[in-house]
Amino acid sequence: HVGTPEVSSFFPESIFFGSFYLPRRGSKGRDATFELMEGHYLVGNQGIYKVQKILGEGCFGKVAKCTKLGSQEMYAIKIIANVQEGKEEFESMKLIQVLDPEVNHLMKMYECFSFQNVICLVYEILEESLEDFLNKNECEATPLTCVRALAQQMFQALKALKSIGVVHCDIKLDNIMFAEKKSLKFKLIDFGVAVETNELPIGAEIQATPFRAPEVILGLPLNESIDMWALGMVLACVYCGNYPFPDDYDYETIRAMVLYTQFDMYNDDDHKAFIDLLKRMLEVNPQRRITPSQALEHDFITMKHLAGKGKAAYAAGCKGVMGKTPLSEAQVKPSASPMLAFYANVAKSASLAIIIIN
């Protein structure tokens, strides 16, 4: 009889040395965050890591920028104080290990190890998140050439996740990072709450409020299209520099979704193409929401709408930017099936509403 592998087989006990405080039990049984500091060492399965800088922290624990001794390679190590949460994130990362992280713009995990009650996940080091980027630029609108590069790469990420039946469940500005800002390379990160599509819970409070799909708010059946909605909200934020809908209360969010919504835009073909794509991503009915494969074939991504007189210079600039993130032949060929139609009626029922963006 072959039983389920013990947790220790995935999380071998390792050594942590340096001046530190061991995890403390909180009053409710949770592990309190330990005091990891610069100069500490973590010994993993593939090498020894020295903490150079604390990049961030939250209720889960901390993220540290570390160097691997001997090679001086840089990594981002996520230290999770709660063992169960660490196990869940590791299990989520195992789901996507069959996907190429470079081709599909997904964060790469190198190893996972533990000491005492603390789980360490070793990831590639990235630059800054979209949240930090927008804050640094005081929420200024982002040029469409950059929005297009971001959209294309994230559509590829969602297409890959859909192909293996996985839903990210937490797409937001914080969870998309620049892998290389100069060449506009992005990666989708933080799969801590990712699940298989057939295990999506109904009625659970998933997704951050500003990026929460209407079917999640309404407690309706869910599928991978909740990620497309969340990505649509991300692109809207990047495009206009702010959240398009209020997010203090679910009622206010739903009300804004079913009412006429207007984005400032220029009356040129490229902005029209982007707004059309955004409408299809922010389709309140998930059955009519655009899919990742369809999105990759949309004119805004393929730039077919930029052909013609008077557009040559602009088109060349756009293609130059997208040349840094090349599209495959399958992604640029015309769609064999027509795109979803956009219905201009504002429905009275929130569950059937359609967003109109002019």
Task: Count Cα neighbours of 346 within 13 Å in the Cβ-side half-sphere.
Answer: 12
348 is in an annotated binding site: no
Give dist(CA 322, CA 320) in Å, integer: 6
Burial annotation 254-272 (CB, 10 A radius, 16+ → b, else e): bebbbeebeeebeeebbbe
For every residue of 20-40, DSSP letters joined together read ----EE-TTSPEEPP---TT-
Whole-number Cα distances in Å, 125 to 42, 108, 189, 354: 16, 9, 11, 40
Write the DSSP symbol of residue 297.
Answer: T
Q: Which residues of 74-84 are buried (b: 16+ CB within 10 A; e: fewer)?
A: ebbbbbbbbbe
CA–CA separation, 352 and 358 (whole Å):
19
DSSP string, 55-114: EEEETTEEEEEEEETTTTEEEEEEEESSHHHHHHHHHHHHHTTTS-TTTTTB--EEEEEE
CA atoms of 103 and 107, how far apart (whole Å): 11
Catalytic position from the list 100, 132, 170, 299: 170
Is 170 catalytic? The answer is: yes
| Binding site feature residues for ATP | 78
Which amino acids are annotated catalytic? 170
| Binding site feature residues | 78
